[in-house]
Amino acid sequence: MSAETLFRIHLVFGYIAWLLCFGAYIWPWLKAMDRVEAHRAIATLHSFRFFGLVFLLPGVVGPNLPESFTTFAAYGDFATGVLAMLALVTIRIRPLFWLFVIAFNAVGAVDILVDYYHATQVNLPAMAGELGATYAIPIIYVPLLMITHAVALYWLVRRGANVVRPLAGEVTA
């Protein structure tokens, strides 16, 4: 079986496994929390995205992995991680907390979508071996990140009035 086929199978099954786990355990747990605590839990997970900088570390990824993929992936993850940490640090200042929750979810989701675009453009599945030690990131970690972004963004849009009202009210007070 080719590296490209293995990578695609791994990626699809990464999403399937996380969707099954998420549906059985994480979704009921998050739904049982109040919205601040649920977003806080998601922010805690995403605060570890500083680890994406590993794509820039020589010797961890192969020398033939295109910079057009690694650079954007690394800094997009880093920015998302910093924004998630800022959300966690500002939990007591709700307008800032909600601002950072919106920011890290928007930046993080766009980062993953653009990473998928870049991966397609450079035909990353065909050179999956060049991911080296980072191979597990798109297979195991990214599906969970994307699923949690989708849930968080859905909750933010669905409950947008509940988030925007306190933001506007507390800023003007």
**Quick one: pLDDT at residue 167?**
54
> Could you tell me the end-to-end alpha-carbon distance of the chain, in angstroms, rounded to an integer?
63
Residues 164, 146: Cα–Cα separation, whole Å: 24
**Quick one: pLDDT at residue 162?**
56
Residues 23, 111: Cα–Cα separation, whole Å: 24
The tokens for 43 are 């922010």
Q: Measuring CA to CA, which residue among 88, 104, 97, 81 is closest to residue 163? A: 97
Domain ranges within the chain, ordered by starting residue: 3-172
**pLDDT tier at 173, thresholds 50, 70, 90:** very low
Identity of the residue numbered 30: L
Tell me the per-residue pLDDT of 82-124, one tens digit each, with 9 for 90 and over. Answer: 999 999 999 999 999 999 999 999 999 999 999 999 999 999 9
- Region 58-72: what's the mean pLDDT? 92
Residues 30, 42: Cα–Cα separation, whole Å: 9
**Residues of the chain with pLDDT > 70: what percent?**
91
**Quick one: pLDDT at residue 80?**
98
**Quick one: pLDDT at residue 161?**
44
Q: Is 62 helix (H, G, I), strand (E, B) or coil?
A: coil
Tell me the per-residue pLDDT of 141-166, one tens digit each, with 9 for 90 and over. Answer: 999 999 999 999 999 998 754 554 55
**Residues of the chain with pLDDT > 90: what percent?**
87
